[in-house]
């Protein structure tokens, strides 16, 4: 029986009584006289509704999944990878850097979690494998924030920088690479290019963490806000729709409502983190998107005899030894070799050139996410909140916000390194030359920022935001098609409402397709075979054959240019079908494809290649778009290994949209056919003329398969129906 049904439960917090109940949608309402007790209630709710998610994520983040879950080679590889970054060790060290307020919130939150975690009741999944969770600590909370900053976000930048090295090693010239990556402005000596061609790359561009779907993968998002000058109510309206993996249960978000005598909040939290992630209070609303800041660099290390060179001297690596204990089998000892740049990406026993990754948000960070996040619940204005958004240090995020007084704003968080003159950030640098070492980090006040812009709106969708920054912090980003569509719709009227914003959340028009159809239409011969493309309305509707036809042609062009003409079919097939690289960075590849002439074209013109791609694409079967968009929502622990009739997995569901539509629907395959997605898993709108939010989510509050709240919300999310949440 659900303890929160009916009148709910009353708990004894640190200052008084905490009351927790569900509304008709299953969303927990947490009420207390004092604000600090709200965090006790939040911890209890996370442990009650999401015990499996809490523990699985913690085990993977600490690098102990093979010890407590199963000793599979997959989980052993994941543990080795996570120990490399040692975010658990960082979390433990960062506890001492918490402010008194943040430490109190973390302690109270953990007390709420442990009210249930240390009890005798365990999720049946853990009883099956004989696992009993340990008490939750503030170090776990910090580790969870760092995990989100690492998985996909920092990884993505690293994959691209390794891919550049791989391309050089396959014979792609520097000028070709500049067409693909315009921020690659370095002018390296030819001798150093020869060094890069000799670098030993020990890991693929897609590391093993993508295999474990319990991890909180925050891949992309949209957010936007209009000032009162553009709303029917005369007040700001803010919208958010973070894009994550929608092919999993439970959803990453835990939606809650909080109310004390001093404040209220409605929005989403991440289990394991004691502070709200997005939503609104009585005075402030906010929503993040991934910021695509270049916060890492690879340094080339000259390795010989187990040592590395600095100038003319050879130095010893600092060796960190980690024991990977296994549920069954003998423990494995792994040694990580570190220097002033980072952890060596290889074996120091092998002489030659190897990489080290430097990361501004690695060691010595994490506490400031809680320190500054603690202010958001009580911030009275956008102007007051923006410096705290800027200082959050778990990763780079674009924070869009609004306040009850009518202000709107935006600030990007993250720490961009100060590099040596002439270093753009995309090419590795010689680690033996100290003049290339970082000179600290840019002030966060130089990060991209906007406050009450004259156009009366702000929108971000993972695009390049360097234009409003005091320093160049981005070297590669997603294509700007979604952002341009958002701006187009926001600028089109001055009477925006909750309803118009909800409609935008489901808008399926593609600015990417619009650009390409201008190029394609003059090349289309007459005849019914080509009419399906000629007459297409550039919308990715479920029944659209035109959308499927366009995609067939476009992807054939990409395979032709980057496969047959340059990298080889096997490489481009991997990047497009087995990795997330092409899905993430289609915008970069697209800039090359739209050029009339390019070094990537192998001496052909774009129109010649397009004519070939048209014939090949039109020869492919084109079904209604929605037919190829069906995925299963898999349970994070069992992941398709149980019969469907048991109900742990749900679906199939249709992922709407495409790379360039506001509801970005990306589907890709990894590791021998495993399916991954990212799409808007939570959508919310709030108008400051009301004290509420309107939301819809791809899942329910609970991770318990036999709870009525396990899959509640999915059908409304698919249909675009929003619930009204008033705290």
Q: What is the pLDDT of residues 671-718, one digit of tens each?
A: 445 677 889 999 999 999 999 999 999 999 999 999 999 999 999 999
Of 85-94, 241-250, 486-495, where does mean pLDDT reach its minimum? 241-250
Per-residue pLDDT, averaged over 88-110, amounts to: 97
Give the residue from 202, 186, 158 showing the smallest Cα distance to 429: 186
Place of tokens 């042609």: 553
Share of the chain above pLDDT 90, in %: 82
The Cα–Cα gap between 92 and 140 comes to 8
Give CA–CA dist 626/543, Å, rounded: 6
Using DSSP, how many helices (H) and how many strands (E) does the chain show? 23, 29
Question: CA geometry: angle at 450 spanning 279 and 239, to 5°?
Answer: 30
User: From CA 587, how far away is CA 602, in angstroms rounded?
Assistant: 21
pTM for the model: 0.96
| HSE-up of residue 79 (Cα within 13 Å, Cβ side) | 27
154 or 698: which leads in pLDDT: 698
3-state secondary structure 435-464: HHCCCCECCHHHCCEEECCCCCEEEECCCC
Instruction: Please tell me the number of Cα atoms within 13 Å of 110 on its side-chain side.
Output: 15
DSSP for residue 496: B
Give backbone dihedrals phi and psi of 72, rounded to 5 degrees, phi first: -80, 155
Beta strands in 13-49 (DSSP E): 17-22, 28-32
Distances (CA, A) of 464 to 220, 292, 476, 480, 484: 13, 8, 7, 7, 12
Mean pLDDT of the chain: 93
pLDDT, position 1: 74
Rounded to whole angstroms, the Cα distance separating 438 from 422 reads 13
Read off the pLDDT of each residue in 491-511 and give the average, rounded to a whole number: 98
What is the mean predicted confidence (pLDDT) over 5-10?
A: 90
Q: Which two tokens stand for residue 601?
A: 């074209």
pLDDT digits (tens, 9 = 90+) for 168-194: 998 999 999 999 999 999 999 999 999
Which carries the bigger pLDDT value, residue 481 or residue 670? 481
Predicted confidence band of residue 212 (pLDDT cuts 50, 70, 90): very low
Other CB atoms closer than 10 Å to residue 73's CB: what's the count?
9
Please calculate the CA angle 490-493-494 and round it to the nearest 5 degrees.
100
Check residue 206 and give its pLDDT: 38
CA neighbor of 236 nearest in space, from 248, 223, 245, 246? 223
Report how far residue 535's alpha carbon sits from residue 433's, in angstroms, rounded to the nearest whole number.
Answer: 58
CA pair distance 627, 69, nearest whole angstrom: 36
**C-alpha 646: how far from its chain's center?**
30
- 439: pLDDT confidence band, cut at 50, 70 and 90? very high
Are the beta carbons of 507 and 489 closer than 8 angstroms? Answer: yes
Domains plus CATH for the chain?
Answer: 511-627 (1.10.1400.10)
């Amino acid at each position: 029986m659900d303890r929160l049904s009916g009148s709910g439960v009353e708990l004894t917090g640190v200052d008084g009584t905490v009351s927790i109940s569900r509304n008709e949608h299953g969303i927990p309402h947490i009420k207390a006289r004092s604000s600090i007790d709200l965090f006790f209630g939040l911890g209890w709710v996370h442990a009650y509704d999401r015990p499996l998610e809490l523990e699985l994520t913690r085990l993977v983040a600490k690098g102990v999944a093979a010890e407590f879950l199963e000793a599979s080679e997959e989980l052993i590889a994941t543990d080795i990878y996570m120990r490399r970054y040692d975010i658990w060790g960082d979390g433990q060290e960062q506890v001492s850097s918490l402010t008194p307020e943040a430490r109190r919130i973390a302690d109270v939150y953990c007390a709420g979690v442990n009210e249930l975690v240390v009890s005798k009741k365990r999720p049946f999944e853990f009883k099956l494998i004989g696992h009993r969770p340990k008490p939750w600590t503030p170090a776990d909370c910090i580790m969870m924030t760092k995990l989100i900053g690492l998985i996909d976000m920092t990884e993505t930048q690293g994959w691209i920088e390794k891919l550049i090295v791989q391309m050089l090693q396959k014979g792609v010239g520097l000028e070709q690479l500049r067409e693909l990556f315009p921020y690659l402005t370095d002018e390296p000596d030819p001798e150093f290019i020869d060094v890069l061609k000799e670098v030993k790359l020990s890991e693929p561009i897609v590391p093993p963490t993508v295999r474990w779907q319990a991890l909180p993968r925050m891949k992309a998002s949209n957010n936007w806000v209009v000032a009162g000058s553009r709303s029917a109510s005369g007040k700001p309206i803010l919208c958010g729709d973070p894009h994550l993996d929608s092919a999993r249960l439970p959803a990453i978000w835990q939606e809650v409502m909080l109310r004390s005598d001093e404040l209220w909040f409605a929005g989403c939290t991440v289990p394991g983190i004691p502070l709200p992630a997005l939503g609104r209070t009585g005075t402030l609303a906010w929503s993040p998107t991934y910021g695509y800041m270049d916060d890492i660099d690879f340094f080339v290390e000259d390795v010989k005899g187990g040592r590395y060179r600095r100038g003319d001297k050879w130095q010893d690596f600092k060796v960190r030894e980690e024991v990977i204990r296994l549920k069954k089998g003998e423990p494995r000892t792994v040694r990580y070799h570190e220097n002033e740049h980072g952890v060596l990406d290889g074996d120091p026993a092998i002489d030659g050139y190897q990489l080290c990754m430097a990361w501004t948000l690695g060691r010595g960070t994490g506490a400031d996410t809680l320190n500054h996040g603690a202010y958001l619940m009580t911030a009275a204005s956008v102007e007051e909140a923006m410096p705290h958004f800027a200082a959050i240090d778990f990763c780079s995020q674009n924070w869009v916000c609004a306040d009850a007084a009518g202000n709107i704003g935006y600030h990007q968080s993250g720490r961009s390194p100060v590099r040596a003159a002439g270093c753009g950030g995309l090419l590795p640098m010689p680690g033996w030359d100290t003049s290339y070492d970082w000179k600290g980090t840019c002030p966060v006040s130089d990060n991209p920022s906007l406050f009450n812009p004259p156009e009366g709106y702000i929108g971000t969708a993972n695009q390049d935001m360097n234009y409003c920054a005091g320093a160049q912090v981005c070297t590669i980003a997603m294509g700007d098609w979604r952002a341009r569509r958002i701006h187009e719709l926001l600028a089109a009227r001055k009477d925006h409402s909750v309803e118009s914003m909800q409609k935008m959340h489901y808008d399926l028009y593609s600015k990417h397709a619009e650009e390409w159809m201008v190029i394609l239409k003059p090349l289309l011969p007459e005849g019914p075979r080509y009419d399906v493309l000629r007459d297409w309305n550039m919308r990715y509707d479920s029944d659209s054959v035109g959308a499927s036809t366009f995609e067939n042609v476009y992807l054939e062009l990409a395979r032709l240019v980057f496969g047959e003409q340059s990298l080889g079919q096997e490489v481009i097939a991997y990047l497009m079908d087995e990795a997330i690289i092409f899905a993430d960075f289609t915008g970069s590849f697209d800039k090359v494809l739209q050029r009339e002439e390019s070094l990537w074209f192998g001496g052909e013109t774009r129109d010649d290649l397009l004519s070939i791609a048209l014939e090949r694409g039109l020869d492919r079967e084109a079904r209604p778009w929605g037919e190829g968009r069906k995925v299963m929502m898999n349970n994070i622990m069992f992941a398709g290994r149980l019969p469907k009739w048991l109900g742990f997995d749900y679906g199939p569901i249709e992922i709407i949209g495409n790379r360039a539509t506001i509801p970005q629907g990306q589907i890709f395959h990894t590791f021998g056919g495993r399916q991954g997605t990212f799409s808007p898993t939570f959508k919310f709108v709030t108008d400051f003329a009301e004290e509420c939010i309107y939301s819809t989510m791809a899942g329910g509050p609970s991770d318990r398969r036999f709870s009525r709240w396990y899959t509640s919300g999915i059908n409304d999310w698919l249909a675009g129906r929003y619930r009204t949440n008033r705290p």
